[in-house]
Amino acid sequence: MTNWKYMKKDELEKQFSPSQWSHRMSADDVIKAHVTALKAGTERARGLAQTLLNVPYGDGDGEKLDVYVPSTCSLGVPLVIYLHGGYWQFLSKEESGFMAVPLVGKGVVVVAVGYDIAPKGNMDLMVSQVRRSVVSVIQQYSHISGLYLCGHSAGAHLAAMVLSTDWSQYSVRPQIKGAFLVSGIYDLLPILSTYVNEPLKMTEEVAVRNSPSQLVAQLKAASSDCDIVVAVAQNDSPEFRKQSEDYFQALQSSGLKVTLEDVPNTDHFNIIEQLVDGEYHLTQLLLKAVGKG
């Protein structure tokens, strides 16, 4: 495949337009269906779990969490933090509780994190917010048996940035046991010249310091004990697939505990939507990871 540096702008834009690659429906329809699926799943989760909505983790308006608690909540429960996708400019925590549907019944707490999407938030701010959200969760839920991260697309990027944090600058050092990075972007340089960067306004310097692919040594220092799953959809674009494969290889070469899951019969959207289903492959992997499989 051609190196992205040699692609024309329109080809690069297509590579980073996930909706163009779905085999299920048109680009516009797959996005509409995605939002509908996430909202419906979150509604279901809110009916099944005890919820604590809009819990602040900072002073900013967007710095809030939604917590989905099992009805039979004992000490020592695993907790999964979910970071939503939407290219750092769409979606919110309001439709990000769907994965609690199969998890709360198994005694797993799910936390959906809100952050300031662009243009209100810039990349440095979003990364800082998700890091602080994890610190806040640790402080509020000190009795959990294990902390796990899951992020989709832009949220997978943010989860990888959390794993790469220098925690010496924070009041606690979270011990993240597992991370599920689903259809993520780990090198931001290819999107600088695309439509994705228009609301983000990233410079090359900002993109480099917020690219997990550049921070593998920091990740090893901060999260060497974390079991990482890099998951990618069969029908993600070639560039999206390459991002996952390259990041997986970089982590593996550093001696980290990482597996690559190439999920058949999925695209960029239903690879995460299906976490609402307890029988889905990634849900089963997640349940196993948290000790509930």
User: pLDDT per residue over 274-291, tens digit each?
Assistant: 999 999 999 999 999 999
* Helix or strand (DSSP H, E) at 260: strand 258-263
pLDDT at 1 (0 to 100): 55
Q: Total domain count for the chain?
A: 1
Give the model confidence (pLDDT) of 93-150 as tens digits: 999 999 999 999 999 999 999 999 999 999 999 999 999 999 999 999 888 899 999 9
User: Could you tell me which of 91, 114, 104, 108 has the C-alpha nearest to residue 45?
Assistant: 104
Q: What is the mean pLDDT of the chain?
A: 95
User: Which amino acids are annotated catalytic?
Assistant: 153, 236, 268
* Phi, psi dihedral angles at 182 (to 5 degrees): -110, 115
Segments in the chain forming alpha helices (H): 9-15, 27-48, 100-104, 123-140, 154-163, 204-209, 216-223, 238-253, 270-273, 281-289
- Domain enclosing residue 159, as ranges: 4-289
**34: which 2 tokens?**
């995605």
* pTM beyond 0.95, yes or no: yes
> The CATH number of the domain where 177 resides is what?
3.40.50.1820
Q: Tell me the sheet residues that pair with 227.
A: 178
For the cut 90, the answer to whether the pLDDT of residue 90 exceeds it is yes
